[in-house]
Structure 1
Amino acid sequence: MSGELDYPAWPPGLTDHTALPYEFWRIMHVVDGRRSIERVAQAVGGSEAQVRQVMTEVRRWLERASVREQPLTAETQEALRQALNSVVGPMGELMIDDALDDLPEDAAFSALLSSLNTQLSEAHRQTLARLLRTRGIA
């Protein structure tokens, strides 16, 4: 097999300032588009499978980040509403309405999510984040 993953490079949107877990950066620091998967794995003391997995996870991470920064659409708002209602019940409707009242009309999805997170317990925040991730939203 040859191609992009044999000589991995940073995916579009990844910068030195992107917040990633340390285990991702440990590998991404060595990825430069010139080293083979084998050489990257050797440099970090890992396996080729591990490097491929991190590359896949970084792409997913960036996709979720781009969704969070997109403007709030009716679809993402409805998906968030459904997920929040799964977590806190009908009170989720009021929480979203209150948060939307406090945000500008052109607010990003992340702004609404941040506003809601201030009202949720840690357990509820984690459950909501997990639900949104399974739906490919956050």
Structure 2
Amino acid sequence: MARLAPARRAALRLCAACRQRDARARELLRTSDVMDGLDPRDRALATRLVLGVQRARGLCDAVVDAHLAHGHLEPRVRDALRMSAFELLYLGTPTQVAVSQGVELAAVASRRARGLANAVLRRIAEGDVPAMEAAR
């Protein structure tokens, strides 16, 4: 079991806050105390994840939904999968890291989501990432 990176934990909290409050990501980044304890490198990654996920939300949701037997996910699990899909598709995070961290993110939301997260993120890494790279 991998240890969840502080930047990803902070980004997940902020993405959930954006969804729950229907708030703007930039405003939350400025006013939230979630970022206070992070070192500059983690702060930069968390900022990139939050802003990127909010911009690519529709595509990330579509990619995640394409690998689900049914479309309903607990909102916090969806936040975690959306963020990990963004990392895989846009940031070029190594597959092993993105999947491992994505499983840990999903476990923060629901312990039962580990297997689902692993399966969905591996399918994205194997199918959607190469397709996205080919399209570029």
TM-score, structure 2 normalization: 0.31
| Bigger relative CO (Cα 8 Å, ≥ 6 apart) | 2
TM-score, structure 1 normalization: 0.31
